[in-house]
Each structure stands twice: as C-alpha cells, then as structure tokens.
A and B are shown apart, each in its own frame.
Chain A
C-alpha cells in the first residue's frame, strides 16, 4: 500500500513522455520557438541583403537566436504546471529528481531539435560554409546542454514569481554567460576555419557538468518549498 518512490528511470521517462505528449498536442513551445527562430533569421538575412557577416558577428547572431528561442519556450515546463494547477499534484506524487531529469531531458531534446532546424538555415541564409562540422556540432551540443540545464533550474526558481517570464530571462542570462561567451568564441573560431582547442571544449563540458550537478543537489530544495 505504501510506496516511497525512488528516482527511477521509469518516473523520469514518464515525466519526459508526458511533456512530449502534451507538447505534441498543444504545440505551445514548439510553435513559439520555431516562429521566433525563423523570424529572427529571415529578417536579419533580408536586412543585410547578401552581405557576408564577420565570423564573430555570425557566431553571436546564431547564439543570440538560440538563446532567445530558449527563453521563449523552455520556461514552459514549470510555468505551465503552475498555471494549469498540476504543480501541486506533481509535488505530492513525484520526486524532485524525477521531475528535474524528465524536464531537463525534454528541454534538451526540444532545444536540440530547434538547433537542428536553426543551424542549417543559418548556413543557408547567411551563405556560411562550415569546414569543421564535427567540432561545430560538438559546440552546439555542449551549448544546448548548458542552456537547457540552466533554463530548467531557473524556470523552477521563477515558477511562483509574478512577471515570471521577464525574471526568467534576467536570471538565466548571467548564470549562462560563461557558457554563452565560450560558445560564441568557439563558433567564431570554427567559422574562421580554425579548430577549437580541446581545453576550450573541456571548459564547456565542465560548465555543463557543474550546472547539472548543481541541479541534482539543489532541485529538491526548490521542489519542496
């Protein structure tokens, strides 16, 4: 009769699939993310009318688009629970760790899916040729993991706040800044036909590991008041 739930892959998978099923039926986050990305890329592309961008500028543009896409859609995982009134049940029946991992995975898959659309469009719209695809993909992957992890944590922090969407962006940006700058620098390097150093990639991977570890340690405190 009594069952103390432990962190199980079943519970994590249940949270992830619940998010995916709800999203596939409402298309709330996907719609916002894709529309923002398409609008931003196409408007800048049309505005510069074929003029080639410096690698630093192009890299910054790519990551700014990804960042604001993340800000537009990733907070949904907790804000929606709060607004729909399902948060109380989730706090009662689920463990914090299952919720954290399930929602982090969903945000990561969503962001990677979006990056899979944005990155090719970015190369087409701005006539950019990528010489080192593997390092480019690794930088995108590491950057997305960092963004998804920070966004999941800060979304949990702001879910009870008033003006949560504005606070979410303001709170996420400074925490994400080291990863954000590294991602822009390494992308600029790759676009300049240069290979990133292993230590630079390790820094990004280390940042991701630190944020996920912080989430594991702190999320239970956020979850149970």
Chain B
C-alpha cells in the first residue's frame, strides 16, 4: 500500500493566541520527518492535528492511499506515542497491549503481548499492574503498544522522554524498523541526535 500524508497550510490558534500557521509538509511511507521547535511551539498539537484528534484552525491534512484521497478514515491509520496518551493503570502491561490491539481489530495473544513487552525491555513486568511502573517503564509500554498495532503512520512525540540510554537505542531501532517496512514516521523531538533520523525537518 502506497501511503502519503500531506499537511496543507495548517494553522492553529487558541483564541487570540496563534500557535503556528502556514505549515506545509509531505511525508510518504518509508520516510521519517522530524518536527522541532522550542517548548510551546506546537509540536505536540501538530501531531494531534495530523492524527485527527484536534481540528486545525486553518488548512487541512490529507491522507492519500494508493494515489486516492482518503477523507474520513485517517485516524485509523495512525499510531501515537505522546506524553498525553496514558495507559490503564489498573491493567497489567500485557492486558494493555491486548486491549489496545483489540480496539484496532488486531488479534494479539497473551504470548505475543509478552514478547512485545520483552522486546521493549519490560521483561516480566508485563504481568504487573501499570500503576506499579516507573515513568520510563510506562514509556516503554507505549512503545510496545504501537509496535503491536504496527500502524502505517507512526506519530512519535518525544518518544525518548524518561528513557535511559538503552531505551533511547530502542526508540532508534523502532523508528528505523518502521521506516524499513514502509511506514511513515513523524517524530517531534528536540534531541539533536533524533533530529538526524529524519529525511527532512519542520521547525515550528
């Protein structure tokens, strides 16, 4: 499937305050685009607009599948890792993975969920309640969820936040693996090393 996201003259204001305007970008499957900018510049908001979770004040985001505009179902092609997206604290890591994959209509067995946890460095903690996780472990669980869902478009907002060096390496491997399998990756970051992962960069 040939997939392309076109960000066409997007702007966002909150009341009188203009966050950003005239943002143009295009990203195709197998590419990584990085979004940088100082705190409060609107990186997270831009990713949420692209995901279809927030309406832009101006412009539009187009999802093009096999050269055909896909107007309504954009949100179902997205996966998002962001500080605002939390996991269920009263469920275990494995239960979280199984629940989120079921929401997308993807079957994921307990053994597969355990494997995703292990791959993300959670080890046997996948069987523990998320309420007992550290912030770094919760971030790893979010990465495990997006890997399990494996969407065609990956939206990663500060994916390395709260992660140790091993975790940062894991994020790098995840991004490169997603790009290798023709997913479109949009990465909002201020880490200088991560900015280098992108083929192109938008600065807000």
Q: How many residues of A contact B (CB 8 A)?
A: 29
Q: How far is the CA of A22 from the CA of B86 in the complex (A)?
A: 15
Is A1 part of the contact surface with B, judged by Cβ < 8 Å? yes
* Contact B86–A86 (Cβ < 8 Å): yes
Q: Please indicate the chain B residues that have their CB under 8 angstroms from the CB of A14 in the complex.
A: 99, 102-103
* Contact A88–B84 (Cβ < 8 Å): yes
* Contact A90–B1 (Cβ < 8 Å): no
Is B91 part of the contact surface with A, judged by Cβ < 8 Å? yes
* Contact A3–B100 (Cβ < 8 Å): no
* Contact A18–B51 (Cβ < 8 Å): no
Q: Please indicate the chain B residues that have their CB under 8 angstroms from the CB of A11 in the complex.
A: 102-103, 105
Q: How far is the CA of A189 from the CA of B152 in the complex (A)?
A: 60
Q: Which of B102-141 contact A (CB under 8 A)?
A: 102-106, 129
Q: How far is the CA of A86 from the CA of B65 in the complex (A)?
A: 29
Q: Which of A81-135 contact B (CB under 8 A)?
A: 84-86, 88-94, 98
Q: How far is the CA of A14 from the CA of B97 in the complex (A)?
A: 12
Q: How far is the CA of A64 from the CA of B156 in the complex (A)?
A: 48
* Contact B105–A90 (Cβ < 8 Å): no
* Contact B85–A88 (Cβ < 8 Å): yes
Is B180 part of the contact surface with A, judged by Cβ < 8 Å? no
* Contact B85–A2 (Cβ < 8 Å): no
Q: How far is the CA of A88 from the CA of B85 in the complex (A)?
A: 6
Q: Please indicate the chain B residues that have their CB under 8 angstroms from the CB of A88 in the complex.
A: 48, 53, 80, 82, 84-86
Interface-side segment among B12-20, B35-43, B70-78, B163-171: B70-78
Is A197 part of the contact surface with B, judged by Cβ < 8 Å? no
Number of A-B residue pairs, CB cutoff 8 Å, is 92
* Contact B1–A2 (Cβ < 8 Å): yes
Q: How many residues of B contact A (CB 8 A)?
A: 40
* Contact B76–A4 (Cβ < 8 Å): yes
Closest to B89 in A: A84
Q: How far is the CA of A191 from the CA of B89 in the complex (A)?
A: 45
Is B183 part of the contact surface with A, judged by Cβ < 8 Å? yes
* Contact B86–A89 (Cβ < 8 Å): yes
The secondary structure that dominates the B interface is: loop
Is B187 part of the contact surface with A, judged by Cβ < 8 Å? no
Is B64 part of the contact surface with A, judged by Cβ < 8 Å? no
* Contact B51–A2 (Cβ < 8 Å): no
* Contact B90–A92 (Cβ < 8 Å): no
* Contact A5–B85 (Cβ < 8 Å): no
* Contact B91–A18 (Cβ < 8 Å): yes
Q: How far is the CB of A85 from chain B (nearest CB, A)?
A: 3
Q: Which of A7-65 contact B (CB under 8 A)?
A: 8, 10-11, 14-15, 18, 21-22, 25-26
Is A6 part of the contact surface with B, judged by Cβ < 8 Å? yes
Is A162 part of the contact surface with B, judged by Cβ < 8 Å? no
* Contact A91–B53 (Cβ < 8 Å): yes
Q: Please indicate the chain B residues that have their CB under 8 angstroms from the CB of A21 in the complex.
A: 90-91, 95
Is B172 part of the contact surface with A, judged by Cβ < 8 Å? no
* Contact A224–B52 (Cβ < 8 Å): yes
- Decide yes or no: A93 and B87 within 8 Å by CB, A1-B183, A3-B105 being known contacts: no
Closest to B153 in A: A2
Q: Please indicate the chain B residues that have their CB under 8 angstroms from the CB of A85 in the complex.
A: 84-86
Q: How far is the CB of B40 from chain A (nearest CB, A)?
A: 19
Cross-chain pairs A/B with CB under 8 angstroms, 16 sampled: A2-B151, A3-B106, A4-B73, A5-B105, A11-B103, A11-B105, A18-B91, A22-B90, A88-B48, A88-B53, A89-B87, A92-B52, A92-B78, A92-B80, A93-B100, A224-B52
- List chain B positions with a Cβ less than 8 A from chain A: 1, 3, 48, 51-55, 65, 73, 75-80, 82, 84-91, 95, 99-100, 102-106, 129, 149-152, 181, 183
